[in-house]
Amino acid sequence: MVVAAVFYIAAGGLHFIKPAPYLRIMPPYIPWHATMVRISGACEILGGLGLLAPATRRAAAWGLVALLIAVFPANIYMALDPAEAGAAGVAPVLRWGRLPLQGLLIWWLLWSTRPRYVLRGR
DSSP track, 64-107? HHHHHHHTHHHHHHHHH-TTTTT-TTS-HHHHHHHHHHHHHHHH
What value, to the nearest 5°, has the Cα angle with vertex 53 and ends 49 and 54? 140
Does residue 46 lie in a domain region? yes
pLDDT at 34: 96
Does residue 41 lie in a domain region? yes
Residue 96 lies in domain: 2-112
Residue range 56-75, pLDDT digits in tens: 999 999 999 999 999 999 99
Q: Which amino acid is at 37?
A: V
Whole-prediction pTM value? 0.85
Does residue 118 lie in a domain region? no
Residue range 82-109, pLDDT digits in tens: 888 888 888 889 899 889 999 999 999 9
Does residue 122 lie in a domain region? no
